[in-house]
Chains A and B, each alone.
Chain A
């Protein structure tokens, strides 16, 4: 008797987690299957809905106003703006007071590690002090050993972006000396446990290194490595030593805010009683008529069917390996769903590196219930729904809409799957 549930969700990122929670809300039993750790550890931890229109104008103040301008077939056009709101509402419920931004429909502008300002709908509490619409003066702090955050360069960029405050950057030495290529987790651990450096803790020593550079700044931004489990305590301590607000600047991968978001999602799934099987790859499926009856998981050599009444495909896009490509074509590797794309692979991209690349929008083409369609426009399977990066039709990187698309499609796909199970 193999493992059997009402709904099985394949994929453990934002889309998969939200689909699983949304399915669980319909009262059915749900299991989430994921292979490797999700791409969340490469993510900024910011939750964007729509920062720029499809033709590149923005940053947008109100993402909802622009939804109708998106091209037909865009996931937001398929699910509608109510689904976007529902997705965010579910996210707010999951995140509790760990995320801010829910008080308004409009986007917040959050400084990035490169010194750009990113329009985003929800941001971690740890990043709140850095909001660019706030006019308090800012000091950015980098560390000599962390080459991916050059504080003075980021400050110059912010300045050039026309932010309404004075911003300077300084590079200091982290009070504990680590190896030259120390991991971000090593820094976080030292602050989390307030490791002893000389006669005082790491937090106090770090504040002492920054203090001489304050020069009246009312807020101080560090790369996001200010602790993990005890992150709020770390920031509180730094704030009281410095007498200024302390915030984190979201960083590139591997990213602690992404890892923390993964923990939040995991806790919510656990709380909702969703079963989780991770570490083994889904490699195939079984059918019963025109419906899926099982997804087959490779457990180190043995192929084990996981049976369910309905399924959600949330395996991600090209980066998450939910969409694969070769010289011959573009495909969805698990259920072999149709992925529309030009026959000639020279038509998959354009010459301008920052141009409007067709490949960026590759993915399955969903019907109005988010079921992937075959080349003739019929549902591939009666009971398979898709969510997140695997769904085509949007260049989420250019629009800054990846998490929003995952939330909105996740809520709908999960509910459709739950209700049809």
Chain B
């Protein structure tokens, strides 16, 4: 039919009961189909120019290939997923760059899931290593039972060498230390919420890192929100799934989501909104969950999830509270994590604290830190990861302060690793300023 012709008249009620409820993807019976998104790609390569991996890796074909092009290729039964999908770090910058809203990261997640499921040897060292890294929480739960011993063992250079030789986990990095008391232990010890409110309620998704490794971030969040009159709940929860998506372990991620979604959905029904202190966790609940899984209540959880500072900015006049405030704080080199960027939060910390006296906060630029969760822990990816991060290290060294700041725990360890700086979370600064 040419463009000049009108479509023939037809009676929609003849074949489909209600045309209003019709979704084009329903014509496919094998579940998810990304065709409408793939067709929106007009190959402008904006995604490729914002891909931090393509910038340093001569072998990596880039997000356009991994997404819409590979999607078309694999429609043919005899074409397998290209193994370069495992070099995508899931930073999701391509999503943000695409002028046509092609669901690139969703395509990458699905391709990676398919690759790991069907093409990877499940007894291989790489698979086992990836599974261990992706399921960090399991490791953390065990390790944090005896934090001092674990820290001593994992910090031991012989153990690190063995990790590298046997598992392919780089010995270059310092294993993150476990806190002597987890956030949840602290929360129980203090007797849970100290503020009760029927109006202002938030359920905290602390994720693994602020529970096991940096409970001071979780504590800062609780104190800040209680200061603003919120009743805080800390429900049972598993990993958000981010490291699992990045390693193509979609089944593991779905198992975790099956715990998280109902727990938080119940609280949403009681008037709570969900807040997270890690931008990858909030990203996962907001975007990846509804893209990848079908769980009852998943849309509500997605729609009610916020990054913690974002939530305060929307609901409180936090700017007024901070105007003219003075704190005694070191100068800060701020890095916006990729997953903050893709949520449109890359400027908020700098904007929020710009007018607070007592320190200087400087944005160290738009480069990716390069660690991308578990990515930079893999022996074969370590150098690439450091090369991507080079720009950020360089900008940090040129910034005034010798203390870094970011919302993402793994960006934070990369910043520390590359510069030796101590790294803090914006919530800790906010706690200092308002509590």
Contact = CB atoms under 8 A, between A and B. Distances in A.
Nearest to A266: B366
B79 interface: no
A1 B315 contact: yes
Contacts of B303: 301-302
Contacts of A278: 96, 341, 344, 346-347
Contacts of B163: none
B139 interface: no
A125 interface: no
A36 B46 CA distance: 10
A253 B59 contact: no
A327 to B, nearest CB: 9
Contacts of A300: 286-287, 302, 343
Interface stretch (A65-73, A110-118, A177-185, A215-223): A177-185
Interface stretch (B28-36, B48-56, B165-173, B408-416): B48-56
A341 to B, nearest CB: 17
Interface in B363-415: 363, 390-391
A320 B56 CA distance: 29
Interface stretch (A159-167, A269-277, A395-403): A269-277
B46 A189 contact: no
Contacts of A181: 61
Contacts of B51: 183
B286 A41 contact: no
A179 B343 contact: no
B370 to A, nearest CB: 13
A39 B99 contact: yes
Contacts of A152: none
A189 B317 CA distance: 42
Contact of B347 (A184, A186, A259, A277): A277
B99 A279 contact: no
Contact of A299 (B44, B344, B347): B344
Interface string A28-46: 0000000011010110000
12 contacts: A1-B315, A2-B315, A41-B97, A179-B59, A186-B55, A186-B58, A229-B391, A275-B351, A276-B351, A300-B287, A302-B303, A304-B314
B354 interface: yes
Nearest to B307: A299
Given A183-B51, A185-B49, A189-B56, 4 more contacts: A176-B58, A276-B351, A277-B347, A301-B302
B236 interface: no
B356 to A, nearest CB: 14
A133 interface: no
Nearest to A321: B99
A253 B64 CA distance: 15
A185 B55 CA distance: 6
B67 interface: no
Contacts of B58: 176-179, 182, 186
A61 B314 CA distance: 52
B49 A41 contact: yes
Interface of B: 44-46, 48-51, 54-56, 58-59, 61-62, 96-99, 101, 286-287, 299, 302-304, 306, 310, 313-317, 341-347, 351, 354, 363, 390-391
Contacts of A81: none
A2 B314 contact: yes
A353 interface: no
Contacts of B44: 42, 253-254
Contact of A1 (B287, B316, B342, B363): B316
Contact of B317 (A1, A179, A299): A1
Contacts of A177: 58
A259 B304 CA distance: 35
B363 A36 contact: no
A301 B54 contact: no
Contacts of B98: 36
A41 B58 CA distance: 22
Contact of A189 (B55, B61, B286, B299): B55
A193 interface: yes
Given A1-B316, A279-B96, A321-B99, A183 B48 contact: yes
Contact of A254 (B45, B299, B342, B346): B45
A280 interface: yes
Contacts of B345: 279
Q: Which 10 A-B pairs have the closest CB atoms?
A: A279-B344, A301-B303, A254-B49, A280-B344, A1-B317, A300-B286, A276-B347, A185-B55, A37-B97, A183-B48
Nearest to B290: A301
Given A275-B347, A279-B342, A183 B49 contact: yes
Nearest to A262: B366
Nearest to A37: B97
A253 B97 contact: no
Contacts of A179: 58-59, 61
